[in-house]
Amino acid sequence: MKAHQLALAAAVLGLIATSVAWAQKSTTEAIDEYREMLQDGNPAELYEMKGEELWKKARGPKNASLEKCDLGMGAGVVKGAFVQLPRYFADTNEVQDLESRLVTCMSTLQGINPKEIINGKWGKGERANVTALATWVAAQSKDMKFDLPQSNPQERIAYEMGKHAFFQRGGSHDFSCATCHGEDGKRIRLQDLPNLTKNPGDGVGFAAWPAYRVSNGQMWTMQHRLNDCYRQQRFLEPGYASPITIALGVYMGVNAKGAKSAVPAIKR
């Protein structure tokens, strides 16, 4: 990321904040401009590099690389795997998303304890390594179209489970995913919200994560995105790679069929 671009972007944001007298149109235009500027240099590249290194490097108690990891298209096949996940895996007899599948591979191939990741913290230790790996793996399918398999009965059930989860209201505000993501053209404050009950278009919603978040300087995976959605919903915290997070991935991914992946994306 070029420092002067960030500085310029910050200046643009500062302008927005101070001139409330601006007409709304010019404000949204300025924000669009700011977002466009961000596209020029995405720090996600650094996570991609780290992820690729982690994939190829012999690590863990078994001192092995992840190059034999089967992400759904055969051992070691990375390109195109992301746009077909989550999917059913016969070896675990589970529907898995990219992150839970990486956890399986790190456990079986490298001997890394899955609990370290599942009970870990965002941006720390092995969970941070999964984030980097997911970023690199997903980036290898950039511009490819989502096409999740639904041929296995468990994949179809997972879709139904995702739909249940999507419409489930709860917590102190009775919000569900659908409250914010159930209709076209809605926004929270000035933030556009994708309609996730259908294909929301190329590079938005499910087709945009993992993404680098400028506001907090963090790389966020879909697991992280879902976790924070639930927090803002005043809902309960879902476990990392818990069944409901996988089911929601299937629901959003199947709905996004045909959408082009923009991963790794960059967000405000």
Partner 1 sequence: MKKSTALTATFAVIAVATLAGCAGSNGASTPSTAELDAMAQKMVQQSFHDKGIVKVKEALAADETLRDCDAAAVAGHTIDAATEKKLEAANFKTIQWPANGKYLGDWKSGEKIAQSGRGRTWNDKADSANGGNCYNCHQISKEEISYGTIGPSLYHYARLKGVTDPNSPEAGDRQIHLGQDLERQGLQRLLQHAARRHQGHPHAGAGGRHRRAAARPEIPGQSVDRHHDPTPSGPGRDG
Binding region for partner 1 (CB under 8 A): 20, 22, 24, 27, 92-95, 100, 114-115, 118, 152-154, 156-158, 160-161, 163-165, 167-174, 176, 178-180, 182-183, 185-191, 193, 231-232, 234-239, 241-247
Give the residue with the Cβ less far from partner 1, 8 or 229: 229
Closest distance to partner 1 from the beta carbon of 115 (Å): 8
Active site includes 177? Answer: no
CA atoms of 268 and 263, how far apart (whole Å): 15
Task: Count Cβ atoms below 10 Å from residue 10 Cβ, excluding itself.
Answer: 12
Helix (H) or strand (E) holding 133: helix 125-139
Give the residue with the Cβ less far from partner 1, 53 or 237: 237
Cross-sheet strand order for the sheet of 265-267? 218-220, 211-213, 265-267
DSSP 90-131: TTTTEEE-HHHHHHHHHHHHH---HHHHHTS-TTSHHHHHHH
Give the residue with the Cβ less far from partner 1, 66 or 180: 180
CA atoms of 133 and 173, how far apart (whole Å): 35
Cβ(182)–Cβ(240) under 8 Å? no
Closest distance to partner 1 from the beta carbon of 187 (Å): 5
In Å, how far are 44, 84, 248, 265 from 39, measured between CA atoms?
Answer: 11, 25, 28, 8
Give the residue with the Cβ less far from partner 1, 4 or 91: 91
Residues annotated as catalytic are 229
